[in-house]
Amino acid sequence: MYDNVCCLRTNAMKYLPNYFNKGQLSKMFFLFPDPHFKKTKHKWRIISSNLLSEYAYALRHLYIVTDVEELYEWMVSHITAHELFVRFSQTEMDDDQVVPLLFESTEEGQKRIETLRFVKCLSINFIECRNSAVEVHLSAGGIAGMAEHCVMFPLDSVKTRLQSLCPCPETNCPTPVHGVASMVKREGWMRPLRGVNAVAAGAVPAHALYFTAYEKMKSFLTGDTRGNSNTLSYGLAGAVATTIHDLIMNPAEVVKQRMQMNYSPYGGSLECVRCIYRNEGISAFYRSYSTQLLMNVPFQSVHFMVYEFIQQALNPEHAYNPKVHLVAGGLAGGLAAAMTTPLDCVKTVLNTQQTPNCLTNGQVVTKTTYQGIAHAISSIYRSRGVLGFARGVQARVLYQIPATALSWSVYELFKFVLSDQKISVKIF
């Protein structure tokens, strides 16, 4: 029952997650205090809500020993008053035999018992988590996907028009924001939002599985992110998550981009789905899947590696920190977007199937013009030259920076809120 126990000082606390996630420890206790530490520092180390909440999944039994009575009383009053904790019954407290064994079996414990008038021990046992990790990641990921794609959708509409081979008035606009204004002026207030329902329907399940797959793969490959740099593992986890995400999201992307086009003839997303299926077959919804993967695997790998790198630099404990999540998400998304714009142009051409002589009379696309990646690349080069592969980069970056910043902020927020836990506390 008492195997695999470790005694640690306060300065070793930051290394604990690595040991637990690798299965090297199941129990521990801390000895407090060292004389040269200030009491305030002890309080911070012991009582940090983020610390105890994050460790609760890993900690099965945690015993904190102190010979400072004031500190002990402070711990009792604050921990038992916290909403995350509940008290053990007196019977359960009396039945616990670990504390005397700890003092009898350690040199430090024997020394303190012999020389001090009192030794206080605080025992914390994790007993319940209201939501499993999978449920939390699925829920938080779905909400984050909805926020990311819907809030910034107008800029995405401008980017799609610029990258399509069909000429559009937005080409003459100095900035993507002016492009949105141009669409509103010519086509009405709701025009920049056409297709948003299609992307929302795909984004919720796609991002739910995307974040869940990333978290699980990251955990499998690295054990834990705190205190370590595992850049390649983050990239690989992102690649696996992207493959699953795009399998769900690709049909929604096709419908969304057809709806976003200038002179789009479709009355709604469902009509667009029916027309594509009737005229081009089911394969039309996955014609750009290989290109999507070719673009999104490096995009998301860079995205996750940069995000985790910034997290490690600014927030090494990976606690909930809204400012860091916002900055790291925005920088990661902007850099990855700029690097993968050429592939995004190819994907847009395959999805929209618009030629330089695009349809302007309300007709729908009835045949496949661009058969694959090579055909789309050669068509872009013939129509616009090398610079054609950078078309829409400004709109794409301006879309991705706030979109990924918002996505990570919402995801981390709901992961923090939904990961509510209860921890039982014994007071001796």
**Are 311 and 225 within 8 A, CB to CB?**
yes
| Residue 401: per-residue pLDDT | 93
Q: What is the pLDDT of residues 168-198, one digit of tens each?
A: 777 778 787 888 888 888 888 888 888 899 9
**Are 161 and 196 within 8 A, CB to CB?**
no
| Residue 38: per-residue pLDDT | 44
Domain locations along the chain: 5-129, 133-418
Both tokens assigned to 202: 């795909």
DSSP 279-338: HH-GGGGGTTHHHHHHHHHHHHHHHHHHHHHHHHHH-TT----HHHHHHHHHHHHHHHHH
What is the rounded average pLDDT of the residues 97-107? 54
Q: Decide which of 263 and 382 is more confident.
A: 382
The answer to whether the Cα torsion of 185, 190, 192, 194 is positive or negative is negative
| Peptide bond before residue 402 is cis, with ω within 30 degrees of 0 | no
Torsion from C-alpha of 162, 165, 166, 172, nearest 10 degrees: 40
pLDDT bucket at 75, cuts 50 / 70 / 90: low
Amino acid 128 reads E
**Looking at the domain that runs over 5-129, which CATH code has it been given?**
3.40.50.150
What is the rounded average pLDDT of the residues 20-45? 46
| Residue 63: per-residue pLDDT | 57
From CA 383, how far away is CA 405, in angstroms rounded?
34
Pairing of strands 120-129, 421-427: antiparallel
What is the rounded average pLDDT of the residues 250-274? 86
Q: Decide which of 175 and 3 is more confident.
A: 175
From CA 231, how far away is CA 313, in angstroms rounded?
13
Asked if the model's pLDDT at residue 423 lies above 80, the reply is: no
Asked if the model's pLDDT at residue 41 lies above 80, the reply is: no
pLDDT bucket at 299, cuts 50 / 70 / 90: confident
**Among 132-141, 227-236, 296-305, 356-365, where is mean pLDDT lowest?**
356-365
Do 133-418 and 5-129 have the same topology in CATH?
A: no
Asked if the model's pLDDT at residue 121 lies above 50, the reply is: yes
| Residue 168: per-residue pLDDT | 73
| Residue 240: per-residue pLDDT | 94
Q: What is the pLDDT of residues 373-410, one digit of tens each?
A: 788 888 888 888 888 888 878 888 888 899 999 999 99
Q: Report angle CA 218, 331, 191 to the nearest 5 degrees.
A: 105
| Residue 157: per-residue pLDDT | 85
| 222 half-sphere exposure, CB direction, 13 A CA radius | 22
Query: At the topology level of CATH, where does 133-418 sit?
Result: Mitochondrial carrier fold (1.50.40)
The percent of residues in the chain predicted with pLDDT above 70, rounded, is 61
Cα separations (Å) of 411 from 147, 186, 373? 10, 36, 33
